[in-house]
Structure 1
Amino acid sequence: MPAQQHLEQVLVSDLRPTQMTVGAAEVAFKRAQWAQLKSKARARLLLSHWFPAVKGPKGRFFIVDHHHLGQALVHEEVESVWVMQLADLSELEPTMFWRVMEFHHWAHPYNEKGLRCEFSAIPRQLTRLKDDPYRSLAGEVRKAGGYAKDAAPYAEFLWADFFRPLFRKTDLRSDGGQGLPESVVVDAVTMARSPKAQFLPGWSGVSAVLHKPA
């Protein structure tokens, strides 16, 4: 079923998301990184950061990763990016398309509260993805070494759901309005390494199981 992978240049504004949220703090971080790059470095970044995508109904490309970068590039008025086609499902009608996408773990229809929604609720533009601060927290915890990056699709959303009942949303607001409070990230790293998180992808803590001496 998967088509032979190839690259195609696509307008950023035409990319379709396969999830409902992003972490706004992470998008802001990527915009800040972009702002510091000179033109040649920006060109190299775009050449090396392909957007894995599936060709869907009406020939549109639905990206399955790099949503944060994509939204950042839209805000930075970047015109086009390179897409790596994973499969061609353009012959499927929308209902079957989304069912196949979910079967391959290429879609994540969960909102900013962590609740499952209909596929029709997934926005059609990257700019309409809502902020989930717990997704930002999950990203910061991984960067801080709280858990290892995992190849499983949407793994950081699972970590976001782990943190959701442990922190109030107001706890995730920094005084400066950008980023997350350092104390919250430190506490979250400790929680990520605890045995309670051992079933999550990339867990790198220490098991609480003790072995009695022989």
Structure 2
Amino acid sequence: MDFNLEECSQKSPRGLLFQARVSELRPTQSGVGLDEVYAKAEAMSRKNKDDLSAFLLIRPVPVVIGNGGRPCLTDHHHLARAVWEVAQNKNEAGLDESNARVVVEVINNWSVLKDAQFWKAMHDNRWVYLFDAMGGGPLQPAALPKHVKDLRNDPYRGLAWYVRSHFGYAKMPADFAEFQWAQFFRTRMILDNRLLSNQIEDVDILLSRMKAEERQELIEEAISLARSDEAAGLPGYSGRR
């Protein structure tokens, strides 16, 4: 995939669009909802080269350049991981690992900042989420994944996506909004009872692979919680209807 843009580099200035290989993007969080990732990847895999290029051109991924000159994601981890997933399988656009790219917008170039200075600046700007896929932390920045393919599944992040898609709450620009909802559901719901009998771990749970009636029951329970007084104050809370 080539967007006819300059490749993102250590010298790329802020405020401009570039293109970057997905393999070069450094995650700034540990988990994603793979239910959302796989849904995005399935839709993108059916697009031809021109359609996929047009789709990604209007969805630039925000990055900060720093700590070795790599572009560090500040948002759209799900989109970047979905493009990588498309490249792993047959797709209409002919994407593979070597040409899997996205459009990036450089929101800051902090290549002069190193190690703790860089991560402090990222943390102060709320551009890094130092918690693992199960919400534990804070972590050392060195524990963050080095590649989008290493982002682990957080099923509650996936549940939050399902709930928002069913209008259980509204999408808001608040910092780490989806993670706040994931933590809210994590402390109130068990998504698969096999967890209680030590048969699986949370990272193995995918709502998209459940029976339709089981998935719908969980989504309805989560929507009810999202509209309860307990959720008041969370970003996008819509209250009872």
If the length of structure 2 is used for normalisation, what is the TM-score? 0.80
CA distance in 2, matches of 1:20, 1:173: 17
Q: Say which of 54, 58, 62 aligns to 1:52.
A: 62
Seen in structure 2, the aligned counterparts of structure 1 residues 163 and 55 have a Cα distance that, compared at 3 Å, is same
CA distance in 2, matches of 1:178, 1:127: 27
Q: Say which of 162, 178, 184 aligns to 1:156.
A: 178
Seen in structure 2, the aligned counterparts of structure 1 residues 58 and 176 have a Cα distance that, compared at 3 Å, is closer
Aligned length: 205
Deviations 1:36-80 (A, max 9, x none): 222221111111110001001121100111111111111222421
Partner in structure 1 of residue 7 of structure 2: none
Partner in structure 2 of residue 5 of structure 1: 15
Deviations 1:147-188 (A, max 9, x none): 111101321001000000211141665584599811101110
Determine if the alignment matches structure 1 residue 111 to structure 2 residue 132: yes
Q: Say which of 58, 79, 89 aligns to 1:69.
A: 79
Across the aligned residues of Structure 1 and Structure 2, the Cα RMSD in angstroms comes to 2.0
Q: Is this contact kept in 2: 1:51–1:65, CA < 8 A?
A: yes
Runs of 5+ in structure 2 lacking a partner? 1-12, 88-94, 194-204
If the length of structure 1 is used for normalisation, what is the TM-score? 0.89
Determine if the alignment matches structure 1 residue 16 to structure 2 residue 50: no
Partner in structure 2 of residue 36 of structure 1: 46
Query: Secondary structure of the equivalent of 1:76?
Result: helix
Partner in structure 2 of residue 187 of structure 1: 221
Deviations 1:15-45 (A, max 9, x none): 0111000011111101111122222211111
Q: How far is 1:134 from its partner?
A: 0.3
Seen in structure 2, the aligned counterparts of structure 1 residues 4 and 128 have a Cα distance that, compared at 3 Å, is closer
Runs of 5+ in structure 1 lacking a partner? 208-214
Deviations 1:177-208 (A, max 9, x none): 5998111011101110111101111111049x
Partner in structure 1 of residue 239 of structure 2: 205
Q: Is this contact kept in 2: 1:7–1:82, CA < 8 A?
A: yes
